[in-house]
Chains A and B, each alone.
Chain A
Amino acid sequence: MTDTSDRTVNEYVTATVGGELFGLPIGRVQDVFVPDRLTRVPLAPPEIAGILNLRGRIVTLVDLCQRLGLERRAKSAMAIGVELKGESYGLMIDQVGEVMSLDAADFERNPVNLDRKLAAVSSGIYRLDHQLLLVLDVDRLLDIAPAAAA
């Protein structure tokens, strides 16, 4: 671990949702934006906050707080833009944090006592000085079951 020459560094965009710290692999993040003129979609699954027009593209906003089953502390004011299978999504977060470069060797598997809903969308964790950084798996995060059967 001390051998610095062998170090692989992973970069994460961090964000807080419901008071927790999460990280997204920087390669998956398109942009960070402030959602404006959000259109609610009736009959949509509860995780879908709505859709909006971002520079001519229609972006589906995912309410991360709801998706992760966290208690809502603040109004989600920001969104992280990601893409999946050619579609644009925005992950609504409370606050965007700094970009962290973390040693891949410190990456740990999810602790067994992790909340099941979180474990389902997390690829692993980093133990930071004061808190845990939960790394989110974007693909699994966006694996949202469609609304009540048609």
Chain B
Amino acid sequence: MDDLLREFVTETNESLDVVDVELVRFEQEPNNARILANIFRLVHTIKGTCGFLGLPRLETLAHAAETVMGKFRDGLPATHEAVTVILATIDRIKEILASLEHDQREPEGSDSDLIADLQRIAERLVQPEQAAIAMTEQTLGRPLAPGEVSLEELERAFQETPVDPRPAKKAKPAVQEPLREEETVKSSVQSIRVTVDTIEHLMTMVSELVLTRNQLLEIVRRHGDSEFKTPLQRLSNVTAELQEGVMKTRMQPIGNAWQKFPRIVRDLAHDLGKDIELELQGAETELDRQVLDQIKDPLTHMLRNSADHGLETAAERRAAGKPPQGHIRLAAYHEGGYIIIQVSDDGRGLDTARIKAKAIAQGLVSEAEADKLSDAQIHKFIFAAGFSTAQAVTSVSGRGVGMDVVRNNIDQIGGTIDVKSVAGQGVSFVIKIPLTLAIIAALIVEVGGSRFAIPQLSVVELVRARKGGDHRIERIKDTAVLRLRDKLLPLARLSKLLGIDGKDASEGAYIVVTQIGSQTFGIVVDTVFHTEEIVVKPMSSKLRDIPMFSGNTILGDGAVIMIIDPNGVARSLGSAVATQIAAAERAQAQKTEAADDDMTSMLLFRAGTSQPKAVPLSLITRLEEIDARKIELSNGRHMVQYRGQLMPLVSMTDKPVRSEGAQPLLVFSDGVRSMALVVDEIVDIVEDRLDIQVGSGNPGVLGSAVIKGQATEIVDVGHFLPLAFEDWFRRKDGTRRERQRSILLVDDSPFFRNMLMPVLQAAGYAVTAVGSAKEALALIDSDKSFDSVITDIEMPEMDGFELTEALRADPRSAATPVIALSSQVSAELIDRGRRAGLHDYVAKFDRQGLIAALMEQTGMGDAA
């Protein structure tokens, strides 16, 4: 083909893609003159070039479209109809271009239909224009033929087009990409067009070069010193640079694959009669163009799916209490050598029941088995071959090509796809694909006599664990963990994961500290060799389901080895090693759901041992430092005069209280009563998650948690309170209780049960504590009665609100006051609680508030 023509076709195609996107944007923001100017300029360029190359059909079409856009520019409204016709014109231009590329000439045919439409719109838009047309007729002596330009218009085009030297440069960056390219071309003619084949060929050659280089390196390594060493080192460096350079040429922003999406969504929205907003995030994220090509179609398909099946019509959405405009979000970002692409919508979510029925009908699963599956497991069936749940085949999606094809495409590039769906709230697909299919740096390790490659990208550091060394392998219950700079890392033994014999982990093992997302863990291997650039080859399809491997490679010595997938290892940790930590987490102070944003202020101090101790700051009234000489011994107890009262001092250890110097104290107060814990040193106040990982059998200590990177004992204040308070209560209240009030305490967290029980007991109540709403109801069911129920709100299975409702529904407990405890108190929650029948709502750490509420509810204060 003529070079000039080829250039024209390529350039025009690119321009048209931009016009597509820009037009959709223009329709949404009709007042944005910049967008319009940009479109106008592009179409004008196309028209001009067509005339130059002698392509009358294209020229006529482009001209007609330009005319309508000119009218827009004159301030006429961009109606949906007008934009649709222009888009159709652009599609026609693309068709003509396609055959132009193929046959090197314009195809036969007429565009009078479109031109008529365009002219009709142009005329209807502007009545005054008639005058101009009439004038032309006068000059010319005949009406203009389609494609001809009136003198005035030509004049105006000349005058206006170059007036704005920076058209639309301030547009959104997502669609700006091709423009910027053009800009650079203008400023410095430093870029050339290279065919993809050329780059592909280069890449293959570089891959081969890397392999050969590796083989040479291996030979030199075996032969020790040789004169080849130095030149080979240079060759190696040059190869590395060459490889990097070629890789760079292959990288493209993912936005290139997205360019057509706004147009697709616009057309879909129109066809389906839905209002859809498309949000694109991370368009600049770069990935290998080979990968890019492969995901374009799956993404388009998923987009269509979301628009067609996922999103409801505006009426349905309104009925469901959602905003009428549906939202589809496409986001891309890098994470540990992978690109994560999320396609999510806020539609109706997957229809679990229908997928289940279909899976059973297709024989993918038996009915009995299906009943045992979780919703998430059922949702995965949409990836099964031939699975499509669309009730009707529509023009948009459901042409028999389902998510199985999407999955296949993603499989082919070594990616994974997962789906999360919440009924009524939407679906989110997460696609994870490798950044590049070609070459990665990997750490070569050995386990049980076999070598494996671990991608260097996820490796943080290497540690050699030794007994008594800085880095020790310790055990939490049955789980091996590595203590690395005071952090505990879970360990995964590769030999165990792979079911092969390896060395015993405790002696001189190497630990590859690996990070996946926010998760850091150690992979235990026998030996670590070196780092090598490896050419990643996909796993055989028969072996692709093994989660531990992401691929294989040929080493310098010709051997094939497996590439470990750190994600697979991380997942296995989730099920094996991390269960201990998970179990500990369940026992942690706050509920896991709330834990993410639930930071607790902790006071760190030392008492007795060098290991730091901590106590929630909210429990402490004041920090004091008193002169040790003021400490008095009375009735076998240490006391200090504090604000006109005697305050008992409680030591956490059997260490004697200081006799001179300053004595730091943690003062706990309840009304006018105060007690103080004697500590050695107040260290710090930190904001951290209270995440008790290891329980304790030691009274006075709830357990250990990592706070500020150090294992810290969490002190059970509840244990120490009665030591000072017990007799104080009696004396102070002086009440003759005719009957001890009984309380049922429901909280899934042992921390709070342990903390509150002594407090409540100290206040004179008989406390029964249970760990779940179910147990509580079982007690009521066994005809136990209580004067009051205190319940946590956030509990698994059945929460505090549901428990309250259940208690209200039972005549035996209908009249029992219920007080709710929650770490979060909001007007909304309080209102919800009132509706459920709660009597009072108290913040979790507000001990005084709780006692006051109890007094009020049980009438104990009045009874005194």
Most buried by B among A52, A53, A144, A150: A53
Smallest CB–CB gap between A52 and chain B, Å? 6
Interface with B: A1-9, A15-23, A37-45, A74-82, which one?
A37-45
Contact A51 B540 (CB under 8 A): yes
Question: Closest Cβ of chain A: how far from B547's Cβ, in Å?
Answer: 5
| B546 CB contacts on chain A under 8 angstroms | 41-44, 146-147, 150
Contact A48 B541 (CB under 8 A): no
Interface pair B541/A53, CB less than 8 Å apart:
no
* Inter-chain contacts of A105 with B (CB < 8 A): none
Give every chain A residue within 8 A of B547 (Cβ-Cβ). 150
Distance to closest chain B CB from A127 (angstroms): 33
The reply to whether B500 and A58 contact each other, CB–CB distance below 8 Å, is: no
Check A60–B548 contact: CB distance below 8 A: no
Chain A residues lying within 8 Å of B552, measured Cβ to Cβ, are 51, 58
Residues of chain B within 8 A (CB-CB) of A85 are 541
Cβ–Cβ contact B545 & A146, under 8 A: yes
Q: Report chain A residues within 8 Å CB of B541.
A: 85, 87
Contact, CB under 8 Å: A45 / B542? yes
Is there an interface contact between B540 and A58, defined as CB atoms closer than 8 Å? yes
Give which listed residue, A39, A56, A60, A144, contacts B562 with CB less than 8 A.
A39
CB pair B554 A146 closer than 8 Å: no
Are B554 and A44 in contact (CB-based, < 8 A)?
no
The answer to whether B560 has its CB under 8 Å from any CB of chain A is: yes
Take A87-B540, A146-B544, A150-B546 as given contacts and tell me if A43 and B561 are in contact as well, using a CB distance cutoff of 8 Å.
no
Give complex CA distance A129, B537 in Å. 46
B235 CB–A CB distance under 8 Å: no
A40-B559 Cα distance, complex, nearest whole Å: 11
Known A42-B499, A42-B548; contact A53-B560, beta-carbon cutoff 8 A? yes
Q: Tell me the complex Cα distance, A144–B558, Å.
A: 27
Interface class of chain A by DSSP = loop
Q: Which residues of A sit under 8 angstroms from B559, Cβ to Cβ? A: 37, 39, 53
Which residue in chain B gives the minimum CB-CB distance to A61? B540
Interface of B is mostly: loop
Contact with B along A51-68 (1 / 0, CB 8 A): 111001010100000000
A144 neighbours in B (Cβ, 8 Å): 542
Q: Does A142 contact B (CB under 8 A)?
A: yes
A52–B540 CB distance below 8 A: no
Contacts of B561 in A (CB 8 A): 39
Q: Contacts of A142 on B, CB cut-off 8 Å?
A: 542
- Whether B798 sits at the interface, judged by CB under 8 Å, is no
Interface centre among A42, A52, A53 (most CB of B within 10 A): A42
Q: B450 interface residue, CB < 8 Å from A?
A: yes
Are A43 and B499 in contact, with the CB atoms below 8 A?
A: yes
How many chain B residues touch A (CB < 8 A): the figure is 23
* Interface check B498, CB cutoff 8 A: yes
Chain B residues with Cβ under 8 A from A150's Cβ? 545-547
Q: Verify if B393 is at the interface (C-beta below 8 Å from A).
A: no
Over the window 536-576 of chain B, the binary record of Cβ atoms lying under 8 Å from chain A Cβ atoms (1 yes, 0 no) is 01001111111111001010001111100000000000000
**CB-CB nearest in chain B for A44:** B543
Which residues in A have their C-beta under 8 angstroms from that of B498?
A: 42-43
Which residues B51-93 have CB closer than 8 A to chain A? none
Pick from A48, A51, A53, A146: contact of B558, CB under 8 Å: A53
B127-168 contact mask (Cβ, 8 Å, vs A): 1 or 0: 000000000000000000000000000000000000000000
Q: Are B543 and A48 in contact (CB under 8 A)?
A: yes
CA distance A26 to B544 in the complex (A): 29
Residues in A neighbouring B543, C-beta threshold 8 A = 41, 44, 48, 51, 60, 146-147
In the complex, which residue of chain A has the Cβ closest to the Cβ of B494? A42
> Which residues of A have CB within 8 Å of B545?
146-147, 149-150
Contact between chains at A146 and B548 (CB < 8 Å): no
- A48→B542 contact, CB < 8 A: yes
Determine the distance from Cα of A56 to Cα of B552 in the docked complex, in whole angstroms.
Answer: 12
Assembled-state Cα–Cα distance A107/B546 (Å)? 39
**Quick one: given A39-B559, A39-B561, A41-B562, are A56 and B544 in contact (CB under 8 Å)?**
no
Cβ A39 vs Cβ B450 within 8 A: yes
Task: Evaluate contact between B562 and A53: CB separation under 8 angstroms.
Answer: no
Near A by CB (< 8 A), chain B positions 686-707 give none
Q: Residues 118-150 of chain A: 1 if any B CB is under 8 Å from the residue's CB, otherwise 0?
A: 000000000000000000000000101011011
A81 to chain B: closest CB distance in Å?
A: 14
A50 to chain B, nearest CB (A): 8
Bound complex: CA A44 to CA B675 (Å): 64
- Please state if A40 and B450 are interface contacts (CB–CB under 8 Å): yes
Cα-based distance from A43 to B500 in the complex (angstroms): 9
Give the distance in Å from the alpha carbon of A102 to the alpha carbon of B546 in the complex: 41
- Determine whether the beta carbon of B560 is less than 8 Å from that of A52: yes
Taking the closest CB of chain B, its distance from the CB of A67, in whole angstroms, is 11
Whether the pair A58, B554 counts as a contact (CB closer than 8 A) is: yes
Is B560 a contact of A58 with CB atoms below 8 Å? yes
Q: Distance (Å) between the CB of B208 and the closest chain A CB?
A: 8
- Rounded to whole angstroms, the CA-CA distance of A42 and B541 in the bound complex is 15
Interface string of B95-122 (1 = CB under 8 A from A): 0000000000000000000000000000
Distance between B216 CB and nearest chain A CB, rounded to angstroms:
16
Complexed CA–CA distance, A51 and B813 (Å): 68
In whole angstroms, what is the CA distance A149 to B500 when docked? 19
Closest-by-CB residue of B relative to A43 is: B546
- Within the assembled complex, what's the spacing in Å between the Cα atoms of A105 and B541? 36
The residues in B between 467 and 503 inclusive whose CB is less than 8 angstroms from any CB of A are 498-500
Smallest CB-CB separation from A52: which chain B residue?
B560
Q: Are A58 and B499 in contact (CB under 8 A)?
A: no
How far is it, in angstroms, between the C-alpha of A73 and the C-alpha of B345 when the chains are bound?
59
Find the A residue at minimum CB distance from B554.
A53
The docked-state distance in angstroms from the alpha carbon of A85 to that of B542 is 12
* Bound form: Cα–Cα A85–B546 in Å: 20
Using a CB–CB cutoff of 8 Å, the interface residues on chain B facing chain A are 211, 450, 498-500, 537, 540-549, 552, 554, 558-562
A-B contact pairs, 18 of them (CB 8 A): A37-B559, A37-B560, A39-B562, A42-B500, A42-B546, A42-B548, A42-B562, A43-B498, A45-B542, A48-B543, A51-B540, A51-B543, A51-B560, A58-B554, A60-B540, A60-B543, A87-B541, A150-B546
New A-B pairs, 11, CB < 8 Å, besides A41-B549, A53-B554: A42-B546, A42-B548, A48-B543, A51-B540, A52-B560, A53-B558, A58-B552, A58-B560, A85-B541, A142-B542, A150-B546
The 7 closest A-B pairs by CB, nearest first: A42-B498, A146-B545, A60-B540, A150-B547, A39-B560, A43-B546, A53-B560
